[in-house]
């Protein structure tokens, strides 16, 4: 991973909208990433994190069917995993402890997600 791309990176996708999760997965795979998930529920995301030894980055929908994704983000942050949040909500819903993490507003521009991940992974 010496280049500034996501090629070869293991990226967790947590998104509860099936079509969007599928689009994100395809875009990440087209950019050379290995996608973990996508998963659409908090409990499944936590289980996947606990199973995986190596996660390089994550794309997290802030709201998963009424549950906020922040417990997942906390686990990833403890492991030093860069996060890109996707949300249709105002930036104020993101707790201040995640202020350094990238945020892409919905409707998402898939290229912006890739660019945000590339920057987060190589900063």
The domain locations on the chain are 10-100
Query: The tokens of 90 are what?
Result: 């105002």
The predicted model gives 51-59 an average pLDDT of 97
Tokens 């942050």 correspond to 77
What whole-number percentage of the chain has pLDDT above 90? 89
**Peptide bond before 91: cis, by omega within 30 degrees of 0?**
no
Q: Roughly what angle, to the nearest 10 degrees, separates helices 18-30 and 110-122?
A: 60
Question: At residue 1, does pLDDT exceed 80?
Answer: no
CATH fold of the domain at 10-100: Rossmann fold (3.40.50)
């Amino acid at each position: 991973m010496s280049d500034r791309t996501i090629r070869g990176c293991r990226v967790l996708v947590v998104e509860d909208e099936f079509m969007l999760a599928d689009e994100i997965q395809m875009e990440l795979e087209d950019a050379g990433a290995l996608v973990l998930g996508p998963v659409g529920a908090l409990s499944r995301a936590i289980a996947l994190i606990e199973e995986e030894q190596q996660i390089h980055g994550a794309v997290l929908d802030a709201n998963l069917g009424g549950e906020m994704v922040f417990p997942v983000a906390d686990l990833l942050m403890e492991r030093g995993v860069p996060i890109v949040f996707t949300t249709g909500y105002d930036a104020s819903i993101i707790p201040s402890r995640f202020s350094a993490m990238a945020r892409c507003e919905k409707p998402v521009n898939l290229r912006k997600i890739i660019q945000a991940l590339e920057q987060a992974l190589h900063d």
